[in-house]
Copies of this chain bind each other. A is one copy, B any other.
Amino acid sequence: MHPFDTATLLETLPDGSFRGHTSPAYANMVGPFGGVTAACLLQAPMQHSQRLGDPVALTVNFAAALADGEFSIVARALRTNRSTQHWAIELSQGGEVAASATAVFAVRRETWSAPEAAPPANLPAADALTRAPLIGRPAWTRHYDMRFARGAMPDAFDEQQQLDSVSQVWVRDEPPRPLDFVSLAALCDSFFPRIFVRRRKVAPIGTVSMTTWFHADTAMLQAQGVRHVLGVARALNFRNGYFDQSAEVWGDDWQLLASSHQIVYYRD
């Protein structure tokens, strides 16, 4: 079993709620990697008996650092329409909410379609880049193969402030695993904190809220398979304890698979 599937495995309990367990493979500095928590919160409606369609929108709010160990998830279908379904999801540990989420699922049909944004031009292919070093990095980074064209985690936190926080990175699960909605939700949180790239200074940080739009459908994810996707991430603003991040995830056929936005707490 792939470590990602172990980490996002949810047992359905008789009352319709779910039980999961944090995974040492995806440990972060404190508690588990937030991307896997987001993936677990999406996994609950994905495997719910009332599920309609595929995810279009996912918002995850990280209310507290998860403790290593068991957690429970309750997913409620708030409203099911003809082609859309709205979910409210809560993850608890010891009777306290540690994360909450909302998700919108939809049955999509073919319509007029057009891209507007484009991925960066003239990027080296993933094969032409070397994998980012893992020394001194938390466990979860070992389960992503990241190849930075620009804006890698700094080798040294030398406090040389950069002009921007833009990263361009080819990334896939390690070991390779076919892309699906749940792994894409996690991958959208795999970009290192923008403040580290911009400021090159270590500081406590924590994502407080993260929203992902899924532009892809199942067929597009299946066509992408195990190959690297291209992530592009940047911040708009760092101000008084909170900065934002906007990221796009592109397939290697240059189709937009997901766009994801988060707001992150930081201390000086």
Binary per-residue interface labels of chain A (237-268) against chain B in the complex, 1 for a CB within 8 Å, 0 otherwise = 11111101010100000001001010101111
Instruction: Please determine whether A235 and B111 come into contact, CB atoms closer than 8 angstroms.
Output: no
Chain copies in the assembled complex: 2
Tell me the smallest distance from the CB of A258 to a CB of chain B, in Å. 10
Name A76-126 residues within 8 Å CB distance of B. Answer: 78-79, 81, 84, 86, 88, 90, 96-98, 100-102, 104, 106, 108-117
Given that A56-B263, A256-B236 are contacting pairs, would A199 and B112 also be in contact in the complex, using a CB cutoff of 8 Å?
yes
* A198 at the B interface (CB under 8 A): yes
Per-residue CB proximity of A66-80 to B under 8 Å, as 1/0?
A: 000000000000110
Q: Which residue of B lies closest to A101 (CB)?
A: B102
Alpha-carbon gap, A109 to B259, bound state (A): 30
Query: Residue A234 at the B interface, CB < 8 A?
Result: yes
Instruction: Choose one: B78, B84, B117, B265; the contact of A208 (CB below 8 Å).
Output: B84
Cα A237 to Cα B246 in complex, Å, equals 15
| Contact pick for A242, options B108, B116, B208, CB 8 Å | B108
Known contacts A61-B102, A104-B208; A116/B235 CB under 8 A? yes
Minimum Cβ distance to chain B for residue A125 (Å): 23
- Which residue from chain B places its CB closest to the CB of A78 in the assembled complex? B97
Q: Are A241 and B81 in contact (CB under 8 A)?
A: no
Task: Answer whether A164 and B116 are a contact pair too, CB < 8 Å, given A57-B61, A111-B267.
Answer: yes
Excluding A104-B209, A108-B242, 10 further A-B contacts by CB distance (< 8 Å) are: A59-B61, A63-B84, A110-B240, A112-B238, A113-B239, A114-B237, A116-B165, A117-B235, A209-B213, A215-B239
